[in-house]
Structure 1
């Protein structure tokens, strides 16, 4: 059903690759650390040449057994294809984000999905 071409056209999705990144900060209650992280991640999505749509968020107030809200921040970025994702991984904006923010997190978990 979901592999049907007409269904894909209905969605009108140009971005065929989704990159979801979950971050657990070392000190999630530290306002200075949160500000530094938010500044770095906002700079990333504003300056990336390859990331299309993006979403930066924190755990929603959902309370169900299947929901993991243990993370501090979530980043979703979309790309037209895997090649753009691969270029994003090595572009200066992404490398700068890692240099500025990696000292603030203790864990990162990534889910990539493509149509």
Structure 2
């Protein structure tokens, strides 16, 4: 019976060159120095055209940001526990190498254009910023 896990591991290693549990490499490694988490509540979260317009604006913004290192856009899954807030429409997580880089991001043209072009789509925005602790 002990040979089966070893055989499965070896098969996985042969079938998956990066290893059995390999994941695709991210374009930017997560940088815990400064994390910027933003939650958006849209005026019309059930309107497909507005969802598409917001998503397009957000993707365009993040692809043009010179200061953001890690970029994540998400939608809430259906909450299965009382402690999970699934009331938002979109979340965005961006990391920076420093607080200075985050300050530069706030003033960069891509960020200002995003706010000017998509700000009318949201009714509420909540931001959580955090400085990383050394392990």
State the TM-score, normalizing by the size of structure 2.
0.74
Give the count of matched residue pairs: 104
| Deviation, structure 1 residue 15 | 4.0
With over 3 angstroms needed to count, the CA separation of the structure-2 counterparts of 1:13 and 1:107, relative to structure 1, is closer
Pairing partner for 1:42 from 59, 83, 89 = 59
With over 3 angstroms needed to count, the CA separation of the structure-2 counterparts of 1:59 and 1:13, relative to structure 1, is closer
Matched, 1:108 2:125: yes
Mapped partners of 2:83, 2:71: distance in 1? 24
Alignment RMSD: 1.3
Mapped partners of 2:124, 2:78: distance in 1? 22
Pairing partner for 2:68 from 35, 48, 51 = 51
The residue number in structure 1 matching 2:86 is 69
Unpaired runs of 5+ residues, structure 2, are 1-28
Q: Alignment partner of 1:44: what SS?
A: helix
Mapped partners of 2:30, 2:68: distance in 1? 14
Mapped partners of 2:77, 2:97: distance in 1? 27
Mapped partners of 1:39, 1:57: distance in 2? 13
Mapped partners of 2:32, 2:115: distance in 1? 24
| Deviation, structure 1 residue 62 | 3.5
Unpaired runs of 5+ residues, structure 1, are 1-11
| Deviation, structure 1 residue 63 | 1.1
Counterparts of 1:76-95 in structure 2, within 5 Å, are 76-95=93-112
- Per-residue CA shift, 1:7-47, capped at 9, x if unaligned? xxxxx964400000000000001111111100100001100
With over 3 angstroms needed to count, the CA separation of the structure-2 counterparts of 1:13 and 1:52, relative to structure 1, is closer
